[in-house]
Chains A and B, each alone.
Chain A
Amino acid sequence: MQTQDVITERQSDAAAGDVVLKVQNLSLDFRLRTQVLHAVRDVSFELRRGETLCLVGESGSGKSVTARALLRILDKNGAIASGRVLLSGKHGDIDIATLNERSPELLKIRGGRIGLIFQEPMSSLSPVHTIGSQIVEALRLHRRMDKKQARAETIELLRQVEIPNPDKMIDRYTFEFSGGMRQRAMIAMALAADPEILIADEPTTALDVTTQAEILDLIKRLQVSRGMAMLLITHDMGVVAEVADAVAVMHFGRIVEAGSADAIFHDAKHDYTRRLLGSTVKLEQNQRATTHAEPAATTREPVLSVRNLSKLYGASAGWFGGGSHAIKAVDDVSFDLYPGENLGIVGESGSGKTTLGRLILRTVEPTSGTVTYFGQGEPVDVTALNKRQLKTFHRDVRLVFQDPFASLNPRMTVKEVIGDPLVVSGKAKGAALEKRVGELLELVGLDPMAMERYPHAFSGGQRQRIGIARALALDPKIIIADEATAALDVSIRAQILDLLLDLQKRLDLSFVFISHDISVVRYFCDRVAVMHRGKLVEMGTAEQICTDPQEPYTKSLISAVPNPDPRHKRMMHRTRFTA
């Protein structure tokens, strides 16, 4: 292996902060059943005071285990094969890699000198203790405070992470906090012992885009004000561009490229870095605007028309005066879908976008409103269909699921999975079925020979292709894609979107594309509907929504999306929305 340096004199001289942590040639091995996985190979990097290093890579690149190895919290079957992790101290460097698993030095470092923030704040906070008591425990352990001091310090910490009413919230339990608040509490806990190094492992992946912007903002400010070194692990190039000083790109266990954020984004040398950036930047443009003439919406007949659709949960008009506590998951939503059009439905979690998709398919029964389908000659009121008629409707309007693992029956071969709708509707049998399944597999870019395999033999992206093939089996008119690309890596995501666009051209489909990811919607859709708390707040062309939003909520949503360019950080001057 050869490492090439592309530095100028000036850059190498300008070593800003002192090095706090030095990782040298770290290699991690994991024992699997029949083989050893070299999850991390020969990785070296430095963390400097006041600087943020982003480890970026797709799933399976070894970025998370690298961070875990720094604290020696690897799973049982993993081990440090070679390399050193040097933590600088007053009395020279400590090599964390050689410390005993239960030695007091290591316990002091964990949480004391290195703080850690996990991806999923719900599972990393104890559900049976109050938020305060968990932070107090960390303070008493690492800073030897008495109860009273610790409590005062905890309130101060909660204030620092901008939790409102910290003196009240300290006695609340985890489930009483929202996702963003939990992550704030988690940050407060990581900061409790005043660490020199903060490791954040995908800290915002589970959060909505506006919350993500706030949390990133907070982490960045705290890091700067406390002069901590930070190691941020993420798969999102946009997040990297917003917060990173230095970037290391990991691919299959190696750091393939490392450098300053500017150098990585604007002068990428390695093919993989370029590919990663390419697929991220690609999603920043609208594919449809360039390939597709603007549909003259007013002159055409819609294929699907939704009018005043609502869904109330918990609205039992019962004896206890029910209805007051009803949650309006979908509140008076109306829109039209035109033939050959891609309509995006964007919203944060809890905005009702998934429920809306299910209401159209009537897997969830609407409380009021109508859905009219025009694809079968005369208009059909979907909300009034009986079971048998609904089956006919489901042949024309198909669903593509979010999770490519849960949506394929693991006990059926690919042929059985894709062929199932054909068998059920009696459209094909025996050799004809096999031929049709082969065609469908070819259509979605898979080898027809793979028909006899089981889903577990395929990667996430391939499985999503199988799911798409199943949706196409009955020659549908409309496909509802519910977060169809959310579970995929960014490079696979672009491939799947291109596949869907290609299929649309060939098969004359219309898409209802439900997503929380603005960039995906921008790439894929003609028109976008923005949902917020069950209501449709704004609707317009993809370009107009993304570049010139009118409603305040849409403005805040769009401005919170990280921009994958360190020279144009978007989040720092974003619009905030309070409602």
Chain B
Amino acid sequence: MIAHSFIDEAPETGPAVSALKAGKPVETAAAGPWRLMWAKIVRNKVAVVAGIIILMLYLIGLFAEFLAPALPDTSRPQFTNAPPQELRLFATQPDGSQQFLLHVTGYTMSVDQASLRRSYVIDESQVVPIGLFVKGAPYKMWGLFPADVHLIGPLKTSDTMYLLGTDKLGRDLLSRLIHGTRISMSIGLIGVSISLLLGVVLGSISGFYGGWVDMIIQRVIEVISSMPTIPLWLGLAAAIPLTWSPLTVYFVITLIVSLFGWTGLAREVRGRFFALRSEDFVTAARLDGSSERRLIFRHILPSLTSHILAVVTLALPTMIVAETALSFLGIGLKAPVVSWGVLLQDAQNVRTIANASWLLIWPAGAVVLTVLAYNFLGDGMRDAADPYES
């Protein structure tokens, strides 16, 4: 038989813990759901980096005119398909010493007499001084305020600075990419907003009322998601009259892309509604006398918003890819509007890829970076969306 023994102390009042890091434990008693989610997402380093990248992309899109060294449409026929110029910090002076001078090196052009093709070679001897906040080509900020200051550019306006090279018409790829960021990033945002509106409203109705309402909405969703998207986009985009302004075309393309993007969101919202409707706290609110509207807006939707945000973040890249695909096929946005898809259109043939690979690399890189960043951020948000589990 076991010996009777005991610890001769008063009972302890709490579990034994020792802090990993010095400092006071974080007080979470009065922390709302958003603060808890923030704390959780900040711990996910990948999501934070992705979030910063996306924020930067939006800032680039917002201040495109100022950040771009040139206008997207200024072409210089003497510099077609010119390779990227490298940005250097130190220049060799005539006396042989190194001195700090922000500059790029110029080109020498040679023409192949057989094919009449121009090729450019970097000429180390030509120094093109570069400055920050230089006066350059005049533009209208957000189409409203006239200005001519650019973040970076050659000191002499006649000099060239093509950090990412030029396209076949001699337009600066960097400037076009920056302006394309504005269009491509915003088309995702606007497209998803329309999807969100449709998805949340129809998903909520479907999930909350159930029954035949749910039946009809779900069948509509199934019909829509069973349609092959590319031919449908093609058909709808082809139906856009050529006389419409680029801006109108932009909005119509967004609408077309988003009309097929809401179904996944609606299903997600419906599923969550079903799960939440039978939660004890919703039953409690119903017994408290809450009306159906109050149940939805005060109790169910706030529990959903974080999930919706995560789903939206994951839906954004599909919008961006859809726009890029349409524009790449030549039925989406059209010049003079610049988007990543429009830029990629220039890189459609093998010869371009062989001779001017930068036309493919940079716009495609931008799309890949954005899609990846959105996915990582979305994953992080989905993990943080329910700070109360476990």
Inside 8 A of B283's CB, which chain A residues have their CB?
363, 399, 401, 407
Please encode chain A, from 409 to 443, with 1 for each CB lying within 8 Å of some chain B CB and 0 for all others: 11101000000110011000000000000000000
> Once the chains bind, are B388 and A259 in contact (CB under 8 Å)?
no
- Chain A residue nearest to B286 (CB atoms) is A363
Question: Whole-angstrom distance from the CB of A550 to the nearest CB of chain B?
Answer: 36
Kindly identify, within residues 11 to 64 of chain B, every residue whose CB is under 8 Å from any CB belonging to chain A: 11-12, 14-21, 25-26, 28-33, 36, 43
Kindly identify, within residues 25 to 58 of chain A, every residue whose CB is under 8 Å from any CB belonging to chain B: 31-39, 41, 45-46, 53
> Once the chains bind, are B8 and A4 in contact (CB under 8 Å)?
yes
> Once the chains bind, are B12 and A252 in contact (CB under 8 Å)?
yes
> Once the chains bind, are B31 and A257 in contact (CB under 8 Å)?
no
A398–B10 alpha-carbon span in the complex (Å): 40
Whether a CB of chain A sits under 8 angstroms from the CB of B193 is no
Please encode chain A, from 3 to 34, with 1 for each CB lying within 8 Å of some chain B CB and 0 for all others: 11111000110111000000000000001111
> Once the chains bind, are B4 and A411 in contact (CB under 8 Å)?
no
> Once the chains bind, are A37 and B32 in contact (CB under 8 Å)?
no
> Once the chains bind, are B6 and A409 in contact (CB under 8 Å)?
no
Q: Chain B: interface secondary structure?
A: loop
Cβ contact of B7, chosen from A15, A31, A36, A270, cutoff 8 A: A270
Whether a CB of chain A sits under 8 angstroms from the CB of B118 is no
Question: Whole-angstrom distance from the CB of A260 to the nearest CB of chain B?
Answer: 5
> Once the chains bind, are B285 and A12 in contact (CB under 8 Å)?
no
A60–B12 alpha-carbon span in the complex (Å): 13
> Once the chains bind, are A252 and B14 in contact (CB under 8 Å)?
yes
Please encode chain A, from 248 to 286, with 1 for each CB lying within 8 Å of some chain B CB and 0 for all others: 000111111111100110010111110100000000000
Cβ contact of B288, chosen from A246, A275, A413, A424, cutoff 8 A: A424
A245–B12 alpha-carbon span in the complex (Å): 26
Inside 8 A of B286's CB, which chain A residues have their CB?
363
Inside 8 A of B6's CB, which chain A residues have their CB?
3-4, 6, 256-259, 269-270, 273
Inside 8 A of A424's CB, which chain B residues have their CB?
288-291, 294
Question: Whole-angstrom distance from the CB of A12 to the nearest CB of chain B?
Answer: 6
> Once the chains bind, are B18 and A36 in contact (CB under 8 Å)?
yes
Cβ contact of A454, chosen from B5, B11, B30, cutoff 8 A: B30
- Chain A residue nearest to B288 (CB atoms) is A421
> Once the chains bind, are A275 and B11 in contact (CB under 8 Å)?
yes
Please encode chain A, from 379 to 411, with 1 for each CB lying within 8 Å of some chain B CB and 0 for all others: 000000000000100110011011100111111
Kindly identify, within residues 305 to 363 of chain A, every residue whose CB is under 8 Å from any CB belonging to chain B: 361, 363
> Once the chains bind, are A409 and B14 in contact (CB under 8 Å)?
no
- With contacts A409-B303, A470-B284 known, is A37 near B17, CB below 8 A? yes
Question: Whole-angstrom distance from the CB of A43 to the nearest CB of chain B?
Answer: 11
Whether a CB of chain A sits under 8 angstroms from the CB of B114 is no
Residues of A within 8 A of B (CB): 1-7, 11-12, 14-16, 31-39, 41, 45-46, 53, 60, 245-246, 251-260, 263-264, 267, 269-273, 275, 361, 363, 391, 394-395, 398-399, 401-403, 406-411, 413, 420-421, 424-425, 450, 452-454, 456-457, 467, 470
Report the 8 A-B pairs with minimum CB-CB distance, sorted nearest first. Answer: A259-B4, A457-B29, A257-B6, A407-B280, A421-B288, A272-B11, A246-B2, A38-B16
Residues of B within 8 A of A (CB): 1-12, 14-21, 25-26, 28-33, 36, 43, 279-281, 283-291, 294, 298-299, 302-303, 388
